[in-house]
Structure 1
Amino acid sequence: MTCSACLHTPAIPDKGIMVVSHPNPSIMSNLKLASQPAGEREFPYHTLKEAEDVLAQLENEYSRHALEHFSFHVEEDGISRMATSVPFFEWKERILRPDLVSVITNELFTTHYQPILHLLSEGIYGYELLLRPIEGGPAFYPYELFQFAERAGLQSLLDSRARVAAIRNSAPHIQKGIKRFINFLPSSIYDPNHCLKTTFHAAAETGTDPADLIFEVVETEEILDMNHLQTILEVYKEKGMKVALDDLGAGHSTEEVLVRLKPNYVKIDRDLISFCDANIEKQQKIKNIIKTSSDIHTLVLAEGIERKEEADWCRLAGIQLAQGYYFGRPSSADFYFQQNVTV
């Protein structure tokens, strides 16, 4: 299977011939933009600003509903530069932010590491691997980059490349047995057996023990298709990897979801952990999560710990793992692995 998200060539050339399409023949026959004759579907441009001007004219002429059905690709010397046509609003995002398209296309990002500790001993259990800008490259906030990628139709590409980069970047530094928590977006994975091939290949080529990889469901998006998510988690597990559910206790991340998915790990939302030592209501919610997790043999991780009092309360409550600024902030490999330990 090859899905359209994998086929997209994300970068729009700085110049070329922009080819416009629309399924409505009437719209196409009456299309008149710039100085082109009516019905023309090819628009030469010499800068991205010229291409942007064509889009602005379309927005002045047509409703949002009509715009949603326009699509584009670029030709040079009669040859298409795009693997497939791109919808209007995704095309617009790519034209407006070529810097962020470049970050995704050229993988202008690196991996930072935040330690995860055994709460009882405070020894290192693993690291969460986090996407960050490379030094000297375009500046961006990771959350904003993923928001852009979603608007630009590049979410699947970014999510896949971020997972692969995390595995490859961490391989020279993290010893076998130390766990690596890697985020993923369920909506970016259409067919897990196909979409996750690059992830599994990266683990194999770097000699990474699958048991050391923990893939963490990022709950910035509501879980709309629980069956699909279950299938994704099962594919990870079939490869010997582990899965984690993030942000439990926040919004739609409920104990019912925990019981249905039965992840290997559950992370308690940082808002629930904050000042939990002084809030009886939070304490009861956390205890309920601990009880449910114990019943289904899931390890509990408290994230967002910033104070000693929070760490002490979580330890006494029986939480096994912890993460947060109190123990260590996300930082580069140079900061955490100066010995450059080889796997």
Structure 2
Amino acid sequence: MVTVNSCEQCKGKILLINSGKLLLHIDQIDVAERVKAHLDIKGIKSVLAHPWLQICFGSTTDLQRYISLVESQLTDKQMQQFSGRLLSHKTVEGHSFNDYPLSQLSLIIENPDFVKIIQEKLYQSFIQPVINTKTKEVAGYEFLLRPASRLYPFSPGDLFMFARHSGLQSLLDSQTRINAIRTASHMVPEGKKLFINFLPSSIYNPEHCLKSTFKALEDYDVNPQDIVFEVVESEKIRDLSHLKSIFTCYKKAGVKVALDDIGAGYSTIEVLKELKPDYAKIDRRVIQNCHKDPVKMSKIKKLRAITKEMKITLLAEGIESEEEFKAVKPVTDLVQGYYFGRPLKKPC
């Protein structure tokens, strides 16, 4: 099954094992005894050496059943409070096994396909063109995560949600950034902007966590000035100072930064002034049918005035029709959407 080595440092490795030991660290003796008694009733042998409760498993199916029985005896708070780990019967050189909150460990055990996708990097970067509004030429590409195997399909949103709740987010986020850089190095000519998403919550220490990203730029000989790292749409701005520190670290390395989904709920003017991004992407919900909606067009024009004053490049994403493009063309610098091209393996 699965465990992770140093995932929080973006260097983690997941180890899949089919048999071994499930070790539960339950430091409340009455709770540990209750869990053991429930396992005994179900005919499952376990060994309690407080605070550790050990259960041997011989298959993934057994492991999933055992963790489900354990979970049935604990509250949500206890699943967060107590931890566990998986140990292989065989010694695996170069791997150490970390403890995880049982809530995370349970998710990992119950979702082997997602784990395999992350472990074996069964994904690829598709690219979608970003168009210069005035010249209608390709100014760059956004890199979007897609399945690499028909046997292991996934929704990018579901995969990242699983990674977030299971403690694998930092690992997945780092791997996908590097995958996008590698793809760009042999598919996109120098000088085109490369829009690559990132999750601020996966970067707990910018100076440390982004080392692998900057090393990838060097290894694959990608010009940092072509890179635009953008906050993905699923992220909410909960910690402005943390996001600002990430932006500062990126800019120090010579890369550009973009703020996604502007005009969608949070205080746009204050956020733009605080973060000072190089690019601002208008939320697709504002763009949708904007040619029919005077309120939306008024908002877009206001965003244009703000970004122009701050010398921020304004991009409208989610363009799906000629009418939408004509409406935003006079007030945006860049556009993106199915009207210009769907995400593909290679540039058109």
In 2: Cα distance, 1:135 partner to 1:36 partner: 38
TM-score by length of 1: 0.91
Alpha-carbon distance between aligned partners in 2 of 1:256 and 1:37, rounded to the nearest angstrom: 57
Cα gap change, 1:131/1:199 in structure 2, threshold over 3 Å: closer, same or farther? same
Confirm or deny that 1:63 pairs with 2:66: no
Count of aligned pairs: 333
Whether the aligned pair in 2 keeps the contact of 1:159 and 1:185 (CA below 8 Å) is yes
The reply on whether 1:48 has 2:60 as its aligned counterpart is yes
Task: Give the distance between the partners of 2:234 and 2:266, measured in 1 at CA.
Answer: 10
Assess if the C-alpha contact under 8 Å between 2:17 and 2:88 holds in 1. Answer: no
Once residues 63 and 169 of structure 1 are traced to their aligned partners in structure 2, the CA distance between those partners, rounded to angstroms, is 44
Structure 1 vs Structure 2 CA RMSD: 2.0
Map of 1:319 onto structure 2: 332
State the alpha-carbon separation in 2 of the partners of residues 112 and 4 from structure 1.
Answer: 25
AA aligned to 1:36 is S
Pairing 1:144-223 to 2, within 5 Å after superposition: 144-223=158-237
Which deviates more from structure 2 when the two are superposed, residues 271-280 or residues 260-269?
271-280
Structure 1 position 27 matched with structure 2 position 44: no
In the aligned structure 2, how far is the partner of 1:276 from the partner of 1:251?
Answer: 17
In 1: Cα distance, 2:146 partner to 2:57 partner: 34
Q: What are the Cα deviations for residues 140-197 of structure 1, in whole angstroms up to 9, with x where unaligned?
A: 1111111111121111110000000000011111111100000001000000111111
For the residue of structure 2 that corresponds to 1:252, the secondary structure is coil
Per-residue Cα deviation, 1:215-237 (whole angstroms, up to 9, x for no partner): 00113122111111000000000
Which among 300, 313, 334 is matched to residue 299 of structure 1? Answer: 313
Please state how far the C-alpha of 1:30 moved relative to its aligned partner: 5.5
Judging changes above 3 Å, is the alpha-carbon distance between structure 1 residues 99 and 329 closer, same or farther for their aligned structure 2 residues? same
- Alpha-carbon deviations, 1:35-92, whole Å to 9, x = none? 3355562111011221122222222222222222222212234858653112112111
Q: 2:195·2:229 contact (CA, 8 Å) conserved in 1?
A: yes
Partner SS for 1:222: coil
Aligned CA distance change for structure 1 residues 204 and 253 (closer, same or farther; 3 Å): farther
Gaps of 5+ in 1: 338-343
Between 1:29-38 and 1:201-210, the stretch displaced more is: 29-38
**2:8 pairs with 5, 8, 16, which one?**
5
The residue that corresponds to 1:36 in the other structure is: 46
* 1:140–1:106 distance in 2 versus 1, CA, 3 Å: same
Identity of aligned residues (%): 36
Q: Distance in 1 between matches of 2:122 and 2:7?
A: 23
In structure 2, the gaps of 5 or more residues are none
* Whole-angstrom CA distance in 1 between matches of 2:305 and 2:293: 19
Query: Structure 2 CA distance, aligned partners of 1:264 and 1:75?
Result: 47
Instruction: Tell me if structure 2 keeps the 8 A contact 1:12–1:95.
Output: no
What stretches of structure 1 move > 6 A for 4+ residues in a row? none
d(CA) in 2 for partners of 1:100, 1:69: 24
Using the alignment, how far apart are the partners of 2:33 and 2:74 within structure 1?
A: 14
CA shift for structure 1 position 135: 3.8
TM-score (normalizing by structure 2)? 0.90
Asked if the contact 1:110/1:132 (under 8 Å) is kept, the reply is yes
